Amino acid sequence: MSQKLDVPSIIRKTLGYKGRVLFMPHHLAHAASAFFPSPFEEAAVLTIDGVGEWATGSYGVGKANEVRILKETDFPDSLGLLYSAFTYFCGFKVNSGEYKLMGLAPYGKPAYLDEIREHIATIRDDGSVALNLDYFGFLDSLAMISPRFEELFSGPRRLPESRITRREMDLAASIQAFTEEAMLKMARWVHKETGKNYLCMAGGVALNCVANGRILSNGPFDDIWIQPAAGDAGGALGAALAVQHGYHGLQREPIKVFDRQKGSYLGPAFSEQEIDAFLRFRNIPHTRLGTSERAMTVARALAEGHVVGFFSGRMEYGPRALGARSILGDSRREEMQKLMNLKIKYRESFRPFAPSVLIEHVSEYFETEHPTPYMLLVAPVQKSRCLARNNEVPEDSDLLLAVNQKRSDIPAVTHWDYSARIQTVDKQTNQFYHEVIRCFEELTGCAVIVNTSFNVRGEPIVCTPEEAYRCFMRTEIDYLYLEGFWLDKRDQPRVSDEAWKEEFTLD
């Protein structure tokens, strides 16, 4: 307590700062991060996460230079903590493995939905949840769940890295269905209470792109916008924007593309001169590409079935790779999902990859025309592109057998339920990435490629040229594009050190 109370003086002393120190409530920072960068001049705002200070969710309104919170839901009733409890029980890491649970859900059935409703949690009229704390441990211990949780679901939690069984698939499907129901109900309540036509969202639960897709397609709002860094990292942006607009009164800047976040390319960039110096200093074999041949070189490698590490421009802000620090592949190849998961990302085979698609062609591949530049919405693949498959994972089947079934003519990015987590790419926000996909379309007739984050499992997304080269050498990526420089794995010195796999804790 003494340290917490002394934070203002610690900040002043450390920074040599003599002005006022402002503190931003957690969910107000989330709300500001959602509204101020959005394309809307006036909107409802909904925030949902585990817990921040005392609140676990909130709703309010944003207009011009102001965001107002109208109501909060308080700890311990939390949709985010509920989802994290199931993440933990299914053997994944809390606060990073929730997206795995969402990706696993399509392989199961909501067989435990009644048990969740009857014993674990109820959904109130406003969409907030009330938890039965007999089944949770986070109030009085370091555990997410209590022994009663394990009793209800027929045994102890799945151990991390062990085989995924039918139980985990069905649990994932069940909590995902419950979450979608709660979030849709929240959206309808917020619409009724605020009377606004548009909705902005933030908080870790707002990264649930399946639920977001349902709110957009089945909800009451004309349009929605989700902060790309919807989790707690986005609070830094929200705090700064809240002070800039709400405290200092600065006007929001005009919209130049779809929103004020400008593609979320807000991180560091490295010049060709810096990269050239790095490659020469390390004596790394490389080719310098002419400006006119760069996009086609990358596209040709993808069309030939190779995997490319892609490092271009300013780094993305948020948890999704958006074509600045990405690993790219051919969406048409059915083996690509397994290859990239097991040999490059070193992660579970079922985890899906996202498609990057030219925005002008999105409706040719997916049942949407909505711009989704941040991979925050899921939409069905066009039925004309889908292929018949077994309707469910067999009871005694290894999940890998289901993963490897071809489901569409873009199988590497098609989920088990024929949906996809889409990134639309336009010329204005990322001209070079758009040109790469356009060249790929010219070569193959397909305007969709695989896009996943440039890292291995447990490691942060690469930021610098050195980190990109290190990841390239530690994996089975075939080529590395480094801001105009082209590196062929066959030309590189061999790396035999495997100790790096212990450097990061698996997520």
pLDDT tens figures, 128-140: 999 999 999 988 8
Are the C-beta atoms of residues 412 and 349 closer than 8 Å to each other? no
CA dist 322 and 433 (Å) reads 9
Those residues whose C-beta lies under 8 Å from the C-beta of residue 309, and which sit 6 or more positions away, are 327, 328, 454, 468, 471, 472, 477, 479, 480, 481
Confidence of residue 415 (pLDDT cuts 50, 70, 90): confident
Are the C-beta atoms of residues 500 and 474 closer than 8 Å to each other? yes
3-state secondary structure of 80: helix
Q: Domain 264-502 is in which class?
A: alpha beta
- pLDDT score recorded for residue 495: 74
CA dist 507 and 504 (Å) reads 9
- pLDDT score recorded for residue 501: 61
CA dist 357 and 387 (Å) reads 20
Question: How distant, in Å, are the alpha carbons of 144, 339, 347, 456 from that of 342?
Answer: 29, 6, 6, 10
Tens digits of residue pLDDT in 172-226? 999 999 999 999 999 999 999 999 999 999 999 999 999 999 999 999 999 999 9
Neighbour tally for 315: CB within 10 Å? 22
Average pLDDT on 311-318 reads 96
pLDDT at 397 over 90: no
**Pairing relationship of beta strands 287-288 and 308-311 according to DSSP bridges:** unpaired
Are the C-beta atoms of residues 163 and 101 closer than 8 Å to each other? no
- pLDDT score recorded for residue 472: 94
3-state secondary structure of 483: coil
Confidence of residue 255 (pLDDT cuts 50, 70, 90): confident
H-only helix segments in 94-165: 98-104, 113-115, 147-152
- pLDDT score recorded for residue 459: 85
- pLDDT score recorded for residue 348: 61
Question: How distant, in Å, are the alpha carbons of 71, 86, 130, 309 from that of 76?
Answer: 16, 16, 8, 43
Average pLDDT on 148-159 reads 94
pLDDT at 340 over 70: yes
Task: Considering the domain delimited by 20-253, tell me its CATH architecture.
Answer: 2-Layer Sandwich (3.30)
Tens digits of residue pLDDT in 343-379? 666 656 566 789 999 999 999 999 999 999 999 999 9
- Residue 90, both tokens: 């299914």
pLDDT at 401 over 80: no
Give the largest CA-CA distance in the chain. 67
pLDDT at 395 over 80: no
- pLDDT score recorded for residue 398: 54
Tens digits of residue pLDDT in 24-67? 999 999 999 999 999 999 999 999 999 988 999 999 999 999 99
Bridge partners (DSSP) of residue 420 are 379
Average pLDDT on 237-258 reads 91
Confidence of residue 289 (pLDDT cuts 50, 70, 90): very high
Domain locations along the chain: 20-253, 264-502
3-state secondary structure of 390: coil
Confidence of residue 404 (pLDDT cuts 50, 70, 90): low
- Residue 412, both tokens: 């590497």
Q: What is the overall mean pLDDT for the chain?
A: 91
- To the nearest 10°, report the CA torsion of 447, 450, 453, 459: -170
